[in-house]
C-alpha cells in the first residue's frame, strides 16, 4: 500500500502577525494552494492508495466556501486514492463545520470523535478526530485485539508528548508495539510520527516543509515499510541579524538588507549601536523582507552627557532620572532621547 501523510495545512489562515506587508497573507495563501496541489498531483502520478490528512486542514474561523470547493475539486481528480481525514483543533467536526455541512467527494472519509476501525483487505486503520477546539481526554483507553496478521495503522491529530488540552495520547494506549504506522498531526515539526506543517507558517517553523510519502506491505510474515520526505514549500522563513554599528546612514542599512538572497522570507534584526534615527519604509525593501526589528541602542557620545548646563544637558539629566526611577521604559527612553537630541543638533 502506497500512502501520503500530510497535516496542518491551515487553509485560509490570515498570516496577519508576520509582517507589515499587507500582501503577504494572500501570497502565502496562494503558496498553500500550490503546495496542496503538489500533494494531489503526486498522488495522481504515483498511484497512491491512501492520502492521510492528520488534522488542521483548514482554519474554521476563517475558511471560505470557495476554498472548500477548491479542495474538494482536487479530491475529485484522484478518485483512485482513498482520502482519510482526522479533524484537528483548528478544524473540528462540529455541527456547523464544513465537515458536517458540505458534501465531499465519494473517496473522502472524515473521522468523528468516536474511535473507529476501518478494515480494508490486509489493512486495519484506527482513528478519530476532534469535535471541538480543545479535547482533553484521550478516546482510547487501550486498543485491544489487534490482528497482527494484518497491517495496522493509527491516525489522529493530537499530542503524543503531554499536552492535556489537545488530545493527549499515550503510546501505550494505542498499542504502539502492535501498530505498524502511527500517523499524527498537530506538531509542526517532522519526526517519527509527525509529518510537520505542509508549508511554514512563521519564523518559529524554520527549515523545509512538505509531506511524507511511504509504502508498507507484507512480505510473508514480515511487514516492510519505507518512507521519504517530499518538499512542497519553495520558501523558508529565516531570521537574520545585522550589526549596524559601523553604518553611517539608513540608506546603508537598506542596501545591506536588500543584499539578502531572494529565495527566503526574512525577518531582519538590527543590532549594535547607532548615532542616527532609524525609520525604514517597506516599499524600499525587496519583497522577501517581511519584517525589520530595530534592536539597536544609541551610541554613548558627548551629546548624551548630563554634566553641563546646556538645554541638552538639563534634558538628559531629567531623562536619566526618569529611567532610574522606573518612570519610563528603556525603549521609550531611547526613542524620546533620539528625537530630542536629533532636533537639538550637534
pLDDT at position 196: 97
- ∠ CA 233-236-239 to the nearest 5 degrees? 165
pLDDT at position 5: 98
pLDDT at position 319: 87
Q: Which residue has better confidence, 25 or 233?
A: 233
Helix (H, G, I), strand (E, B) or coil at 217: strand
CB-count burial class (<10 Å; 0-12, 13-18, 19+) for 32: buried
pLDDT at position 304: 63
Can you tell me the mean pLDDT for 278-303?
A: 84
Q: Which of 2-6, 108-112, 291-295 has the lowest mean pLDDT?
A: 291-295
Cβ pair 24, 201 in contact under 8 A: no
The per-residue pLDDT for range 257-266, each reduced to its tens digit, is 999 998 899 9
Average pLDDT, the chain: 91
Can you tell me the mean pLDDT for 12-33?
A: 85
Q: Which of 81-85, 188-192, 341-345 has the lowest mean pLDDT?
A: 341-345
Q: How far apart are CA 170 and CA 176, in angstroms?
A: 9
pLDDT at position 341: 72
Sorted by sequence, the CB contacts under 8 Å of residue 26 that are 6+ apart come out as: none
Domains along the sequence of the chain with CATH: 2-231 (3.60.21.10), 237-344 (no CATH)
Residue 158's nearest CA partner among 111, 205, 102, 108 is 111
Find the length of the chain: 346
The per-residue pLDDT for range 158-169, each reduced to its tens digit, is 999 877 789 988
pLDDT at position 302: 52
The per-residue pLDDT for range 299-323, each reduced to its tens digit, is 765 556 666 678 878 888 888 899 8
pLDDT at position 275: 78
The per-residue pLDDT for range 111-133, each reduced to its tens digit, is 999 999 999 999 999 999 999 99
If you search the block for the grid coordinates 506587508, which residue do you land on?
21
The per-residue pLDDT for range 196-216, each reduced to its tens digit, is 999 999 999 999 999 999 999
CB-count burial class (<10 Å; 0-12, 13-18, 19+) for 45: exposed
Query: In degrees rounded to 5, what are phi and psi of residue 99?
Result: -60, -30
Q: At what angle do helices 24-45 and 65-76 cross, to 10 degrees?
A: 20
* C-alpha cell belonging to residue 16: 496577519
* C-alpha cell belonging to residue 288: 522577501
Can you tell me the mean pLDDT for 150-178?
A: 89
Q: How far apart are CA 120 and CA 118, in angstroms?
A: 6
pLDDT at position 274: 86
pLDDT at position 24: 84
Can you tell me the mean pLDDT for 73-98?
A: 97
- ∠ CA 301-307-308 to the nearest 5 degrees? 100
pLDDT of residue 223 exceeding 90: yes
Helix (H, G, I), strand (E, B) or coil at 314: helix
Residue 84's nearest CA partner among 35, 131, 118 is 118
* Distance, CA of 88 to chain centre: 14
Task: State the DSSP string of 120-151.
Answer: ETTEEEEE---SSS-B-S-S-S---S--TTSE
Q: Which residue has better confidence, 23 or 344?
A: 23
If you search the block for the grid coordinates 472524515, which residue do you land on?
110
Amino acid at each position: 500500500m502506497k500512502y501520503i501523510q500530510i497535516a496542518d495545512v491551515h487553509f485560509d489562515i490570515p498570516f496577519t502577525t508576520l509582517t507589515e506587508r499587507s500582501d503577504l497573507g494572500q501570497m502565502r495563501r496562494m503558496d498553500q494552494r500550490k503546495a496542496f496541489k503538489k500533494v494531489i498531483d503526486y498522488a495522481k502520478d504515483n498511484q497512491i492508495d491512501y492520502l492521510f490528512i492528520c488534522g488542521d486542514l483548514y482554519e474554521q474561523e476563517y475558511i471560505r466556501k470557495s476554498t472548500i470547493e477548491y479542495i474538494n475539486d482536487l479530491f475529485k481528480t484522484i478518485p483512485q486514492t482513498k482520502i482519510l481525514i482526522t479533524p484537528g483543533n483548528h478544524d473540528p467536526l462540529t455541527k456547523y463545520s464544513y465537515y458536517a455541512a458540505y458534501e465531499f467527494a465519494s473517496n473522502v472519509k472524515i473521522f468523528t470523535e468516536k474511535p473507529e476501525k476501518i478494515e480494508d483487505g490486509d489493512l486495519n486503520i484506527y482513528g478519530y478526530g476532534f469535535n471541538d477546539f480543545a479535547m482533553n481526554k484521550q478516546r482510547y483507553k487501550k486498543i485491544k485485539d489487534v490482528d497482527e496478521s494484518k497491517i495496522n495503522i493509527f491516525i489522529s491529530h493530537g499530542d503524543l508528548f503531554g499536552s492535556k488540552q489537545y488530545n493527549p495520547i499515550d503510546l501505550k494506549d494505542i498499542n504502539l508495539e502492535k501498530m505498524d504506522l502511527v500517523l499524527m498531526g498537530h506538531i509542526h515539526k517532522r519526526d517519527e510520527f509527525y509529518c510537520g506543517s505542509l508549508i511554514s507558517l512563521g519564523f518559529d517553523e524554520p527549515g523545509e516543509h512538505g509531506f511524507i510519502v511511504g509504502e508498507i506491505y507484507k512480505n510473508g510474515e514480515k511487514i516492510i515499510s519505507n518512507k521519504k520526505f517530499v518538499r512542497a514549500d519553495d520558501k523558508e522563513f529565516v531570521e537574520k541579524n545585522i550589526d549596524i554599528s559601523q553604518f553611517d546612514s539608513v540608506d546603508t542599512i537598506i542596501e545591506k538588507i536588500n543584499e539578502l538572497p531572494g529565495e527566503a522570507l526574512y525577518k531582519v534584526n538590527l543590532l549594535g549601536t547607532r548615532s542616527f534615527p532609524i525609520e525604514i519604509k517597506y516599499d524600499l525593501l525587496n519583497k522577501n523582507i517581511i519584517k525589520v526589528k530595530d534592536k539597536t541602542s544609541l551610541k554613548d557620545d558627548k551629546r548624551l552627557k548630563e554634566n553641563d548646563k546646556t538645554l541638552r544637558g538639563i534634558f538628559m539629566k531629567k531623562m536619566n532620572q526618569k529611567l532610574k526611577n522606573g518612570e519610563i521604559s528603556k525603549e521609550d527612553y531611547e526613542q524620546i532621547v533620539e528625537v530630542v537630541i536629533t532636533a537639538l543638533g550637534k
